[in-house]
A = this chain, B = another copy of it.
Amino acid sequence: MARPREFDPEEAMDKAMRLFWDVGYEDASLSELLATMEITKGSFYKAFQDKHSIYLAALDRYDETVISETVRYLSDRNLGSGRTRILGLFGKVAELARRDGDRMGCLLCNALVDKAAEGGETEAKLQAMVLRLENGLFRALMERAGADEVLSRETARGLLSIYLGLRVLGRAGLSAAMAGDCIRQVERLLADPRA
């Protein structure tokens, strides 16, 4: 072994992820990446292979942090009933929207639209993340007494769509106005415990 790194790879990755999150794949030029990651080209290409690789890695990181945290929240029985936690999730989005308009949106959602470089690998990652969210919602729904599996699956997918739609609206600064109203609709979908 020899000279150790002068930067924290995780920290740099995190900054890269946030840039991709904010501006997407193509708009995140290499020089912009280097600037926000605060490393130089040499370090970049040595630590991460190339732009596309770090994008994939950024998606993984999003999965491991934000998505995982969300799923964990949805399945944490200490936070109340499944219904409460689902409403809590949407409440968080609403709060985000109230604060800064949620202009960054959701990286998963942005990437779904971006389809950047859209190798099959990217798409598979995105699909897996979507499924994890859907299942998180589904399991929270299934906790309720008398819950029906088929109906809960349908409801989970409806809630997922509302969630993604809301985050999309955030990109244009519209979710602040929408979030509250959407939560009302979430409540209505949660009204029937079977679903």
Q: Chain B contacts of A165 at CB under 8 A?
A: 160-166, 168
Count this chain's copies in the assembly.
2
What residues of chain B lie closer than 8 Å to A127, measured between beta carbons?
A: 172-174
Interface residue from B153, B171, B189 paired with A113 (Cβ < 8 Å): B171
Interface SS of A by simple majority: helix
Distance, CA A181 to CA B166, complexed state (A): 18
Provide the residues of chain B in CB contact with A186, threshold 8 Å.
158
Contact-size category for A: 35 or more
Report whether A185 and B113 are in contact in the complex, using a CB–CB cutoff of 8 Å. Answer: no
A127-B174, A188-B188 are known; give 17 further A-B pairs, CB within 8 A: A24-B24, A24-B114, A109-B168, A112-B169, A115-B171, A123-B172, A126-B172, A154-B181, A154-B184, A157-B178, A159-B185, A160-B165, A161-B161, A163-B165, A164-B168, A168-B168, A188-B189
